[in-house]
Structure formats: structure tokens, C-alpha cells
Amino acid sequence: MGAQWKAKGKDLAANAKGRVFSKLAKDIMVAARNGADPAANARLRMVMEQARKVSMPKDTLDRAIKKGAGLTGESVQFERVIYEGYAPHQVAVMVECLTDNVNRTAPEMRVLFRKGQLGTSGSVSWDFDHIGLIEAEPTAPDADAEMAAIEAGAQDFEAGDEGTSVFITDPADLDLVSRALPAHGFNVLSAKLGYKPKNPVDPANLSAAALEEVEAFLSAIDDNDDVQNVYVGLLG
């Protein structure tokens, strides 16, 4: 499960697609604070590409951009908050939220973590690396992910979904590597900061029942409207 947890089969469900749109809309609004023109706003450009990849309706996309840029007269203020702790069976978890009301989100997280253990700031993050994550697809059959990673300045790479590759960068190099990859045969689909576990647990070392408990816990966390990303200390 590596850097970011995704529920099995979740992207196929209609209600899951709605949650994906909702999470992306928040990212778009936050990115659009720095301007509504994607040509001059690299972060907005990347999030818009993610939105197109999952077929977000154009009016939903445009509305989120205008709202975030303050063009609708509405005030939108989201705060990024990280909650750290453990899923059942001491599997480390970092939960990234974007919320307009921490006083609502904090107690909801406490309830969700009752089946695990909610920690304090720093209690789990020491066991994760803060990294840049770039998902990209080859633009030619002979595109070499390893060579592209070296030449574009990425630290590492790993196989992604549906033939894509995930390039791992230093957080400060995220934009630089994103802009360099197309010249080395890869079209960037998404680029964001995230977390990768240093000492992930091998799911093979957990019983089927234990793994099911962990999955149920993570799914409940991910279903919360304020949760943007869930990073978990399990091998992918």
C-alpha cells in the first residue's frame, strides 16, 4: 500500500467517485488561491490534470477554481491538518485533512481512531519520509522509468497503476522534476507532497482477520469528508 492507501475497488463505485470529486475540489480551491490561471499557477495546473483524469465535470472544475480564487464573492478558508496514530495491530497511519472547521474534524478523528490509537504530533511522522510523489505515464513504448528518474532528478521510482510510474522526489524538487519528466518520455498526471513509510509492515505477516480489521479502519477514515489522503505503514 506504500505511500498512499487506496481501498480495493473503491474507484469503481459511484459514491466513491463523488468523494474523489469532493476531495479534488478542495485541492483545486486551495491551489487557486494563488491565481485562477493554470498557465501561471503550477500547482493548480497539476490538480486540474488530476481532475481531468477522473473525468470531473467541467462546471464543477470551473466553479472550484473561481471559488478558490475569490471570484464568486465567497470566502473559502481550508486548514491543512495532519493526524497521526495507529490502525489496529500497530500499523502506523498519517491522515491528512483539509478542513474549514478544526473543531468539527478533531472530535471526528478521535472517534474514528477508537479502534486504533490516536497519537500526538510527531508520534508517528518520525517513521515516515516527507516526499514528492509524481504519477506519470510513458509517452512512448520504449520510455525507461529508471533512466527518466535519473535524468530528471528524482530520488527513486516505483510501478504505479495501469502502466504508470510513480517518481519520488525531495519535496523541494517536486516542481523541477515534474517539469523535466516530459523531456524524458513521461507525461505527468499528478504531482503532490506526501509521506512514505520507512519501516512498513508486510501484510503477509498479518492474519487475514487482522488485515481485514486494518482495511476496515482505513476505509472508515478515508470516508470522512475532511480527509484528503491516508498514508499507511504497510508494504504495497
pLDDT digits (tens, 9 = 90+) for 37-53: 988 988 898 888 888 88
> Is residue 42 included in any domain, yes or no?
yes
> Is residue 117 included in any domain, yes or no?
no
> Is residue 209 included in any domain, yes or no?
no
What band does 2 get if pLDDT is binned at 50, 70 and 90?
very low
Residues of the domain holding 42: 10-68
Tell me, what's the pLDDT at 7? 57
**Alpha helix ranges (H) inside the chain:** 14-31, 42-53, 58-68, 102-112, 145-152, 174-180, 208-222
> Is residue 59 included in any domain, yes or no?
yes
Q: What is the pTM of this model?
A: 0.82
> Is residue 85 included in any domain, yes or no?
no
> What CATH number has the domain bearing residue 62?
1.10.10.200
What is the count of structural domains for the chain?
A: 1
pLDDT tens-digit profile of 69-98? Answer: 988 887 778 889 999 999 999 999 999 999
What band does 9 get if pLDDT is binned at 50, 70 and 90?
very low
> Is residue 102 included in any domain, yes or no?
no
What band does 162 get if pLDDT is binned at 50, 70 and 90?
confident
